[in-house]
Amino acid sequence: MIDKGRAPAADDRPTMLPRSPLREAAGWATVRVAAGLNACCGHRRDCGFGILMYHRVTDHPKGADTPTNNVTPQRLRQQLTGLLDRGFRPWTLDALLDACRDGRPIPPQTFAVTFDDGFENNLTDALPVLQDLDVPATIFLVTGFLDSRVPMPSDNWADAGSTAVPESSWRTLTTAQCDELLASGVIQLGAHTHTHELFRGRADAFYEDLAESVDVMDRKFGIANPTFAFPFGITSPELVDAARRAGVRCALTTRPDCVQPSEDPFHWGRFGATQQDTPTTLAAKLGGWYSPLARTLRALQRPLVSIVPKSTREMLLIRNSSFAFPAGQSPAESQPSPEAQHVDAS
Ligand SMILES: [Zn+2]
């Protein structure tokens, strides 16, 4: 049952733009260059800490389209094991927020793990990996879809809701499953709005939606002032102000940057972790090399695109004179991440 029946209808599903092959190639090339620099030079000094963003964690069902925004359980284990082997230390998001608030030092190579949207597979497929490796994580729930039996409209996987694939691959968590996650001692829960709608330019609606989500977090789980991540990575000064008023503790974006401890936690960025990421590429993102390269490419995008003939731009699906790549997404993702589509707005 969807809480208060306020979940959006299926035809509210946000329209996804096709991703430019050039944009994807540029993004992945940047990740590889960053990995090379990280291997040669080690982590950048004073790069702060990093936060990883996952969504779905499931095996690829036979005969189905490749699940979007997905990392398989095996890949998740490989990625996290590789980071631990390289000396990275996982902290909870709350521990990072507490340390930053209190001015306590955060050791080099500290990182946090987050999961957006609250898929059931976070319990069935991700939790065993996290428990085995003793890696804590925060799951950001779309509270209007707790206990829902229908896929979220924002889920852009064609097979979401199909009886041909396991329900856990697309269903959202139930309240009882969230209690189970909390009891594991490994998982913290945060808010990801109540409906996961597009709130660009709708700060008042966003405030009401998030306030309802905050209320659900308190009523159902006893979590006051929950952590929060913007849906679709869409943020603006007005949305940040609304988030503060709604009573959340932080507001994470999808801006692919490490976090400086002095930074306002309502602007903290995160790195998307994809199925194509290896421990090496994730270490390059968390080690501080990816972000400056990505910024440099973004600064060059307009002059570079302007010299490409219009017909070629259309062929390559370059929109709005831009091929800027988002959130550390790698090119081989078969479909665009809803979060990634709007990261440039952050
Ligand atoms: Zn989301």
Cα-to-centroid distance, 231 and ligand 1 (Å): 4
Instruction: Report the share of the chain in percent with pLDDT over 90.
Output: 69
Q: How far is the CA of 195 from the centre of ligand 1 (A)?
A: 10
pTM (two decimals): 0.83
Q: Compute, in angstroms, the gap from residue 224 CA to the centroid of ligand 1.
A: 21
Q: What is the spatial distance between Cα 3 and Cα 7, in angstroms, rounded to a whole number?
A: 8
* pLDDT computed for residue 339 by the predictor: 40
Percent of the chain with pLDDT over 70: 81
Calculate how far, in angstroms, residue 30's C-alpha sits from the geometric centre of ligand 1: 25
How many beta carbons lie within 10 A of that of residue 184, not counting itself?
A: 14
- pLDDT, mean of residues 277-296: 88
Q: Look at residue 343 and give its three-state secondary structure.
A: helix
What span, in angstroms and rounded, lies between the C-alpha atoms of 84 and 113? 13
Distance, in Å, from the CA atom of 43 to the CA atom of 28, rounded to the nearest integer, reads 19
pLDDT at 341: 37
Going from the Cα of 103 to the center of ligand 1, the distance in angstroms, rounded, reads 30
Range 310-316 average pLDDT: 65
What is the predicted pLDDT for the residue at 317? 53
Nearest CA to 62 out of 176, 164, 184 is that of 164
Task: Enumerate residues 6+ apart whose C-beta is below 8 A from 24.
Answer: 325, 329, 330, 331, 332, 333
Q: Model confidence over 225-266: pLDDT tens digits? A: 999 999 999 999 999 999 999 999 999 999 999 999 999 999
Q: Which domains does the chain have, with CATH numbers?
A: 3-8+20-345 (3.20.20.370)
